[in-house]
Chain A
Amino acid sequence: MGIVIAVISGKGGVGKTTTTANIGLGIAQNGKKCVVVDFDIGQRNLDMLLGLENRVVYDMVHVMDEGVSLKQALIKSKMDSNLSFLAASQTKDKSVLDSDKIYKLIEDLKAEFDFVILDAPAGIESGYEHTIEFADRALVVVNPEVSSIRDSDRAIGILDSKSKKVKDGQEVDKFLIINRIDPKMVQSGEMLNSEDILEILSIPLIGKIPEDKGIIDASNQGKPIILDANSKAGQAYKRVASRICGEKVDFVDVESESAGFMQKIKGMFL
């Protein structure tokens, strides 16, 4: 049976979908069968980031309501044959909010894949609770800024009270991804560093992703940045994917990388 991982955040726009696309592809590159599912009904963009928008014929509502088989609806990525994609519904259909139907869909996916990655809506949106309901683990994506961190704590609170695993007396394992770190700003004391964020949220870290201009270019082309071996963000996503697959990968101090000499000196005092 596969492992269900919800990619969540408090507010929107922190890089949840980018993270889902890269981690999904990274897991597939590790030789595991992986499906990424777009649950972000309001802002479905996962198809674009994976370059699959023209191949979508059926979405999850067709599978849940109209007897379309999973085989027909799943799209296999050309970037890696281990990676499949299931599209979000075009409309805000009510059945997307039906727990029993979502449960069956996810059970069927678990039977076929090693990892089922769910791109959740932001924690403040409706639909979030249904995405996290059947998750085994959650990747919490934050940016190093106050509103993102505060809202993510609320999203974690909902996860800890509404998920099925918690209601069954178990715990959903949560892991933190700090996205869009600007090393120079951290060095100069203008941006929260990862230790501070970990201390505030008190969940274990699984990845630190530096700000990378290449992300825009990657999404323009529909090719996740993990495919670019020279990209710092791509390398960071690769490490996260390996950690999810159970490998022990040392953390790279992305916060002090590329910081100038003067900033390092200054950093010693701040």
Chain B
Amino acid sequence: MFPWFGKKSSAKTAKDRLTIAIMSDRSNNSFPFIEDLKAEIIEVVKKYIGVKKVDIQKETLDGVEALSIDVQLEK
């Protein structure tokens, strides 16, 4: 924005990076039971089809909170 000062302030960079890192930390750590939940989902799905891995993310869309569960199947 002010090229005559040479470079972007590193504090601004820090703020931008922190905002994103903390947002992602919060969404991953918001449920302490998430690891247990993953294990149980794997157990249930495995009864019917092979599972490679399960990912769970908390998402907020238009003020509605949701759990997005991705089940990756074995080839």
Give chain A's interface residues, CB within 8 Å of chain B: 145-146, 149-150, 153-154, 157, 161, 186, 188-193, 196, 199-201, 266, 269-270
Contacts and interface: CB of A to CB of B under 8 A. Distances in A.
Contacts of A161: 32
Contacts of B15: 192, 196, 199-200
Interface in B5-51: 5, 9-12, 14-15, 17-19, 21-22, 25-26, 29-30, 32
B23 to A, nearest CB: 10
Given A157-B26, A269-B5, A146 B18 contact: yes
Contacts of A188: 9
Interface of B: 2, 5, 9-12, 14-15, 17-19, 21-22, 25-26, 29-30, 32
Contacts of B17: 146
B11 A157 contact: no
A240 B19 CA distance: 27
Which of the listed residues B2, B5, B15 has the most CB atoms from chain A within 10 Å of its own CB? B15
Contacts of A196: 11, 14-15
A180 to B, nearest CB: 15
B18 A150 contact: yes
A95 B15 CA distance: 41
Nearest to B4: A269
B11 to A, nearest CB: 5
B18 A270 contact: no
Contacts of B19: 200
B24 to A, nearest CB: 10
A269 B6 CA distance: 13
B26 A189 contact: no
Contact of A150 (B2, B10, B22): B22
A201 B14 CA distance: 14
Contacts of A190: 9-11
B9 A270 contact: yes
Nearest to A153: B22
A166 to B, nearest CB: 12
